[in-house]
Structure 1
Amino acid sequence: VYGDFSMKQTTAVKVFNELQEKAGIYTFFRDGRLVCGKIYSDEKVSKAQPVFEYGENIIDHNLQYIFPDEAKVKIYAKSKQSNGTYERIELGEEGGDVEHWDFSAGLDKETLKKNAESRLKNKKTRGGYKGTITSFGWSRVEHGQVVQVRDKKYEERNTKNFVDEVEITMSATGGYRRIIEIGKTYRDGEFKTIT
């Protein structure tokens, strides 16, 4: 889908960044293996959604809640045409979440834009968390899994998020700890093709 491309005087990191930005293909390590693919749609990742709640199993955090009107989202949308080419649209702002959407085949540019604008508007009505939480060694959490972050005081901030990174620490004084980097907000059915 991405096609051939050439980059002169470059590094592997720059190539990986190009693939991430333009095609939504992420490069990361999972279980000690270098993986290139969709970071949030690996079928091997557990479907369990552990719950982390303030005052319960969140020991420490540096979470920041992004309110809906402050959210930055960039959407790359495409629709395959009958001749094998793609109609493409990009909308939104740099510096926030990046989403790649495959809409149903045969959409003209105007319809594709309307669908992408609807998706962008939907994304801008919901906030989400950025940052890390420190919890106990259990529940087990892995990179790419979905976790729930809950706040009894501000229930409107309860979210489901992908995990971007997990660091495990162990010490005589602190015990077994799991530091979880909270990624983009998850919505049920988000990674199916839009029809």
Structure 2
Amino acid sequence: MSFIPIKEATIGRYIFRTLSSVTIRRSRKEIAATAEITLPAEYDGKYLCNEIKGGDEVVIALGYDDRKTEEFRGYVVDVAQRRPVVIQCEDETYRLKRMSPKARSWSSVKLKEIIAYVLPDAKTHDLPDVTLSPFQIKPGGSVFDVLEKLVKTYGLQAFFKDKTLHVTVPYYDMNDGTVRYDLERNVIRPDLTFRREGDVRIHVRAVSILRNNKKLTADVGDSDASAITTLHFYNVTTVAELKRLAEDRLKTMKYGGFSGTLLTFGVPYAEPGMAAEIRDRRFSGNRFGRYMIDAVTTTSGTGGFRREVEIGRALKKQNAQ
């Protein structure tokens, strides 16, 4: 195999196999997955800025030689009127921003009920058993606004994968498979920091949202940490219990091991929700561990087919020296 990168985009009724560049961004921490496609200004004798419009469906496939994988599916958001043409795209969140649910208020409601109310036909995955009290959908808002409120006010994570909506608590392990990285073999550039467990400083502020919409707070961890990490809990009614839950969560956050990003080729495939198994053979006994993948930025252009993989918390104890 010669490993020649290929990139293909279907936009509306057109199929493009000569893209100038593609950038795709997916993250567990962001509701929307986005894509940017750069194309020549003219195609088949037509100006593309007149042929492509907002709302056109988009499918992007990338790969090497004759093997390609669908990397993005969504809709055109904007077409830049310039040379070359730059097309901004979003996944299913494009539609959600244009859907307006009827205003409604609940004194107490399960997360599953809210999602069923605003998206009755949506495919969902493992929605946590969370009670929100109270919750209000205001007039004139969109379904996207509801998801954004769940993220910003209640500390949840919301994102789409294969048109399936995931709404999860942070640090939830999705068990979406494992991608293996050997820093000496299949990584172009590791931008990683290795920390021993005793060197990690984390200050956690736990916030419990009560049924009357009041809040309890408790701080645990290292007061000298450079930043404060906020964790949300629901209907925990005592500070003592809130501290206990926060300290349990802190144990999963305060790990020794790697943090940072990896720049790799297009293969192996990676996406948020997968586990990154990282090995560094340069050290006696090997530095090895499994980490949650939080975000992946995929690019294909003059610099080749690349993925920048952002790793999150450790998924099991490190065997570091």
The answer to whether 1:150 aligns with 2:272 is no
Where does residue 72 of structure 1 map in the other structure? 202
Where does residue 165 of structure 1 map in the other structure? 295
Where does residue 95 of structure 1 map in the other structure? 227
How far 1:16 sits from its partner (Å)? 6.2
Matched residue type, 1:127: G
For residue 155 of structure 2, the aligned residue among 5, 8, 24 is 24
CA contact (8 A) 2:255 2:314 kept: no
Cα distance in 2 for residues equivalent to 1:90 and 1:14:
29
Cα distance in 2 for residues equivalent to 1:185 and 1:101:
21
Matched residue type, 1:2: L
Cα distance in 2 for residues equivalent to 1:37 and 1:62:
30
The answer to whether 1:60 aligns with 2:192 is no
Stretches of structure 2 that go unaligned for 5 or more consecutive residues are 1-130, 209-214
For the structure 1 residues 115 and 3, does the alpha-carbon distance in structure 2 shift closer, same or farther, using more than 3 Å as the test? Answer: closer
Matched residue type, 2:267: W
Compute the TM-score of the two structures, normalised by the length of structure 2.
0.41
Deviations 1:150-181 (A, max 9, x none): 21234574322111211222245x43222111
Stretches of structure 1 that go unaligned for 5 or more consecutive residues are 79-86, 189-195
Q: Percent identity, aligned pairs only?
A: 25
3-state SS of 2:247 partner: helix
For the structure 1 residues 71 and 129, does the alpha-carbon distance in structure 2 shift closer, same or farther, using more than 3 Å as the test? Answer: farther
Compute the TM-score of the two structures, normalised by the length of structure 1.
0.61
Q: Report which of the two has the higher share of strand.
A: 2
Deviations 1:101-155 (A, max 9, x none): 78xxx997546634643553x3476224332211122221111211112212345
CA contact (8 A) 2:255 2:313 kept: no
For the structure 1 residues 184 and 21, does the alpha-carbon distance in structure 2 shift closer, same or farther, using more than 3 Å as the test? Answer: farther
3-state SS of 1:62 partner: strand
How far 1:52 sits from its partner (Å)? 1.0
Where does residue 259 of structure 2 map in the other structure? 130
3-state SS of 1:187 partner: coil
Where does residue 77 of structure 2 map in the other structure? none
Root-mean-square deviation over aligned CA pairs: 4.6
For the structure 1 residues 65 and 150, does the alpha-carbon distance in structure 2 shift closer, same or farther, using more than 3 Å as the test? Answer: same
The answer to whether 1:117 aligns with 2:212 is no
Where does residue 307 of structure 2 map in the other structure? 178
Return the index of the structure with the highest Cα Rg: 2
Provide the aligned length of Structure 1 versus Structure 2: 177
Cα distance in 1 for residues equivalent to 2:261 and 2:183:
13
Where does residue 193 of structure 1 map in the other structure? none
For the structure 1 residues 36 and 110, does the alpha-carbon distance in structure 2 shift closer, same or farther, using more than 3 Å as the test? Answer: same
3-state SS of 2:185 partner: coil
